Amino acid sequence: MEKKFYSIDELKNATIIDSEGLLYGYVEDITIEESNAKLVAYTLFKINEPAINVEKLKSILSSRISLEGNEPLETLVALARKENIEIPWQVTEKEVKWIKGYVPLSEVVLIDSKQLFIDDTRAHIKIVLLSTPREAIFRGLPVNPKSQTYRPQHVLGKLVISASRGVLGIAKEIVVSPGMLGFRVYRIRSRKKVVNWIAFTAHVKRMGLKEAYEKLVEFRDPYKYSKVDLSLTNEIEQLLEGMKEKEKILGAMQNYIETEEAGTEYVDIPYSEIVRVGEFVISR
């Protein structure tokens, strides 16, 4: 990938992913001391979810060691483990944001930004990929530098990031080629709902509703428009306004609604290119 530079405004709130495919945090800012630049990372504890009781952890640590008071969460947890202190947890009553750590730019191997449009979800994805297992260490998880084997089901539905190509998209399907298993990763998979117009108008005609049938085919000739977009429903309702059988006709139309693909953009990647699978999938 061609190297690109990003301003802090462009990086703000970008998702930081460690080398194990785990969510480390989000970009808050950039701090520079002399010539050393670091990303300031924050984490969010959401309402009614288990979260580290940071204030209690600080209090426990302060009773044993001297703290400066501005240590990031990552440092507090590391100190607690060193002192054999059990990490206190709580269920949060409100969303809480904490500075988690400072990531040297030397640990950043990739920054990328892509628009994804998958089914009914449109999202602007910004990621920072690290060369180090910072989140795995933070969680106290074992880190295995060797290649690992993953079940295909663990890949599906996750965001795939290529260390060489950037954000690829969401792994949605398992695909095969001679002697090889792979995944179809979509950046765009848009769908739209349509009415099978030719079948629906034919049904209205069979219902013996001549007036309604004539209005509908005048609105859209079924031999020119075999399908019509569901977004035209309001106009169809207006056509039928005042008719005794309006609700019956609209109810019948529901049986002729179909989903069509409006556009796709995807890449197929071999299973052998999967490097790590965590909350995210990292490929070569």
pLDDT attached to residue 1:
60
- In the chain, where are the structural domains located? 8-146, 150-284
pLDDT attached to residue 189:
81
Q: Is residue 279 a contact partner of residue 190, using CB atoms and an 8 Å limit?
A: no
d(CA 17, CA 26): 9
Under-70 pLDDT residues of the chain: 1-2
Other beta carbons within 10 angstroms of residue 226's beta carbon come to 15
- The beta-strand segments (E) located in the chain are 15-17, 23-33, 36-45, 50-52, 89-91, 96-104, 108-119, 121-130, 159-162, 166-177, 180-196, 227-229, 257-270, 274-277, 281-283
Average pLDDT of the chain is 91
pTM of the predicted model, to two decimals? 0.76
pLDDT attached to residue 72:
94
Other beta carbons within 10 angstroms of residue 97's beta carbon come to 11
